Chains A and B, each alone.
Chain A
Amino acid sequence: MDLKGLSGGQYKPLSDDGITTIHKAAITILEKTGMTFESGLDDTLTMLESAGAWVDRTQGRIRFPGKLIEEQVKKAPNRVILYSRDGKNNLDLTENRVYLGTGGAAIKVLDLETGKPRATTLHDIYQIGRLVDRLNHIHFYLRPCIPTDISESDYDINMFYACLNATTKHVMSGVNNEAGLHQIVDLASMIAGDKSLLQKRPFISIITSFAISPLKLCTQSTRIMQEANRLKIPVALSAAPMSGSTSPMTMAGTLAQLHAEQLAGICICQLTQAGAPILYGGIPGMANLKTMGYLGGAVECGMMNAAIHQLAHHIGVPNYNSSGLTDSKVPDAQAGWEKAMTTLLTAMGGSNYVHHAAGMLESMLAVAYEQYVIDDEIIGMCCKVLDGIKVDPDHLALDVIDSIGPGGNFMTSEHTMKYMRKEYFPGNGVSDSRSRDKWEKDGGLDARERARKLAKRILSEAPTSHISEEMDRSIRNRFKILLKTA
Chain B
Amino acid sequence: MNTFQPIIDALLDLDKQRVITLVRDALNNQVSAKDILNQGLIAGMDVVGERMEKEDMFIPEVLQAAQIMGAAVEILKPLLGEDSASANGRVVIGTVKGDLHDIGKNLVSMMIKSAGLEVHDLGVDISPERFVEAIKSKDAKILCMSALLTTTMPMMKRTIDALTESGMRNTVKVMVGGAPVTQNFAREIGADAYAPDAGSAAKAAKAMVQP
Q: Which of A295-335 contact B (CB under 8 A)?
A: none
A152 to B104, CA, bound (A): 24
Across the interface, name the chain B residue whose C-beta is closest to A365. Answer: B180
16 contacts between A and B (CB under 8 A): A105-B150, A148-B150, A152-B151, A155-B151, A212-B100, A246-B103, A290-B52, A290-B55, A290-B58, A290-B59, A291-B59, A291-B197, A292-B107, A293-B179, A365-B179, A365-B180
A21 to B51, CA, bound (A): 40
Contact A107 B150 (CB under 8 A): yes
A294 to B59, CA, bound (A): 13
Which chain B positions have C-beta within 8 A of A107? 150, 180
Across the interface, name the chain B residue whose C-beta is closest to A108. Answer: B180
Size bracket of the B interface: 10 to 19
Q: Which of A261-309 contact B (CB under 8 A)?
A: 289-294
Across the interface, name the chain A residue whose C-beta is closest to B101. Answer: A212
Contact A289/B150 with A212-B100, A218-B100, A365-B180 known, Cβ cut-off 8 Å: no
B80 within 8 A of A: no
Contact with A along B128-161 (1 / 0, CB 8 A): 0000000000000000000000110010000000
A146 within 8 A of B: yes
Contact with B along A115-149 (1 / 0, CB 8 A): 00000000000000000000000000000001010
B60 within 8 A of A: yes
Query: 4 closest Cβ contacts across the A-B interface?
Result: A290-B55, A107-B150, A289-B58, A146-B150
Chain B nearest CB, measured from A193 CB (Å): 32
A292 to B58, CA, bound (A): 9
Across the interface, name the chain A residue whose C-beta is closest to B125. Answer: A38
A365 to B103, CA, bound (A): 18
Contact A290 B179 (CB under 8 A): no
Which chain B positions have C-beta within 8 A of A106? 150
A65 within 8 A of B: no
Which chain A positions have C-beta within 8 A of B103? 245-246, 292
Contact B180 A291 (CB under 8 A): no
Which chain A positions have C-beta within 8 A of B60? 244, 289
A105 to B153, CA, bound (A): 13
B57 within 8 A of A: yes
A244 to B59, CA, bound (A): 10
A244 to B57, CA, bound (A): 14
Residues of A within 8 A of B (CB): 38, 105-107, 146, 148, 152, 155, 176, 212, 218, 244-246, 289-294, 365
Which chain A positions have C-beta within 8 A of B59? 289-292
Chain B nearest CB, measured from A10 CB (Å): 35
A145 to B197, CA, bound (A): 24
Across the interface, name the chain B residue whose C-beta is closest to A152. Answer: B151
Partner of B151, one of A146, A218, A293: A146
Contact A292/B151 with A244-B60, A365-B180 known, Cβ cut-off 8 Å: no
Which chain A positions have C-beta within 8 A of B197? 291
Contact with A along B164-182 (1 / 0, CB 8 A): 0000000000000001100
Which chain A positions have C-beta within 8 A of B55? 290-291
Which chain B positions have C-beta within 8 A of A245? 103
Which chain A positions have C-beta within 8 A of B52? 290
Which of B55, B107, B150, B154 gathers the greatest number of chain A CB atoms within 10 Å? Answer: B150
Chain B nearest CB, measured from A245 CB (Å): 6
Across the interface, name the chain A residue whose C-beta is closest to B58. Answer: A289
A37 to B59, CA, bound (A): 27
A470 to B95, CA, bound (A): 45
Contact A152 B154 (CB under 8 A): yes
Chain A nearest CB, measured from B1 CB (Å): 30
Which chain A positions have C-beta within 8 A of B107? 292
A244 to B55, CA, bound (A): 16
Partner of A292, one of B57, B100, B104, B154: B104
Which chain A positions have C-beta within 8 A of B154? 152
Given A245-B103, A291-B59, list of 4 further CB < 8 A pairs? A146-B151, A218-B100, A290-B59, A294-B179
A246 to B101, CA, bound (A): 11
A212 to B125, CA, bound (A): 14
Which chain B positions have C-beta within 8 A of A148? 150
Which chain B positions have C-beta within 8 A of A105? 150-151
Chain B nearest CB, measured from A147 CB (Å): 10
Across the interface, name the chain A residue whose C-beta is closest to B106. Answer: A292
Contact with A along B99-114 (1 / 0, CB 8 A): 0100110010000000
A246 to B104, CA, bound (A): 12
A365 to B55, CA, bound (A): 20
Chain A nearest CB, measured from B200 CB (Å): 11
A290 to B55, CA, bound (A): 5
Which chain A positions have C-beta within 8 A of B104? 292
A107 to B153, CA, bound (A): 11
A264 to B180, CA, bound (A): 30
